[in-house]
Structure 1
């Protein structure tokens, strides 16, 4: 947090105060939101990353591991263990694509589909627990997606 009366404007882009860092505010918010999800997802036997995998598969249906990893902005080395655990739990299945042996397809099983119904209340429960209204969520989501696009562009330019 900035302190009044300081010579420099520590809220500016050049500040080295931890609480002035956009990245730290995002990191703290992400950790807090994930922690708020934890008890809701524990009832389903899922971790937050597993929940994200299932959300994508429920929405899109069968897909390749490569497409899934891209959508979740994760590398293959992170997605593969997630899928192994979900497969061990009987929630997803993986198989080689008959069209391209190098490609692995992943899809939700019947058991995974059954979990979808129980998971339907998670978003509402999270909103209730945080006290955020629907319009606040929509605004935050829009701003965060905009920030993500800008940051991805900056990262690409920096390569």
Structure 2
């Protein structure tokens, strides 16, 4: 590679390794992959783990509430919840807040699973081989990014978030 080609590669806005979307996608797959062998003995997939986390924190919850918390579409959650129900971890019953809605509640087995799940974060940190302080910092930065770019009501950027043309649209 000659010097001119190297100079173009250094500033190429379309270079794959400069794309934020690529770095986030690869990091996401690798981190979620780290959870798989940790969650398998518990009988959970990563998306099911997220639903269980939401329920352990906020039980009972309507499907729409879970969808908002874990940021998945209700249609995506329905089969996942059916599998959790078949596994005996959750039940569906009328919501105490709105009898027109069904709410998910943990079963005794679902509540007991929390004891085992309390070891998951520590196991993930050990598997990643990254300092806890670095992970805390990364989590804070990602949470800030999510808050800034998440749409508010009506698909508009959240209050205080930059407009669409002001958002990060290119590589980092």
Which blocks of at least 5 consecutive residues in structure 2 are unaligned? Answer: 158-163, 165-172
- The alignment covers a number of residue pairs equal to 152
Which blocks of at least 5 consecutive residues in structure 1 are unaligned? Answer: none
Q: Which TM-score applies when normalising by structure 2?
A: 0.81
Judge which range, 20-29 or 92-101, deviates more: 92-101
Q: Higher RCO, 1 or 2 (CA under 8 Å, sep at least 6)?
A: 2
Determine if contact 2:9/2:15 at 8 Å carries over to the other structure.
no
Partner of 1:156: 156
Shift of 1:128: 0.6
Partner of 2:35: 37
Partner of 1:67: 65
How much is the aligned-residue C-alpha RMSD, in angstroms?
2.0
Partner of 1:82: 80
Whole-Å separation in 2 of the counterparts to 1:19 and 1:144: 19
Shift of 1:42: 0.6
Partner of 1:121: 119
Judge which range, 99-108 or 56-65, deviates more: 99-108
* Compared CA separation, residues 96 and 153, structure 1 to 2 (3 A): closer
SS at match of 1:102: coil
Whole-Å separation in 2 of the counterparts to 1:151 and 1:141: 15
Partner of 1:140: 138
Following superposition, which runs of at least 4 residues in structure 1 exceed 4 angstroms of deviation?
none
* Compared CA separation, residues 56 and 7, structure 1 to 2 (3 A): closer
Shift of 1:68: 0.7
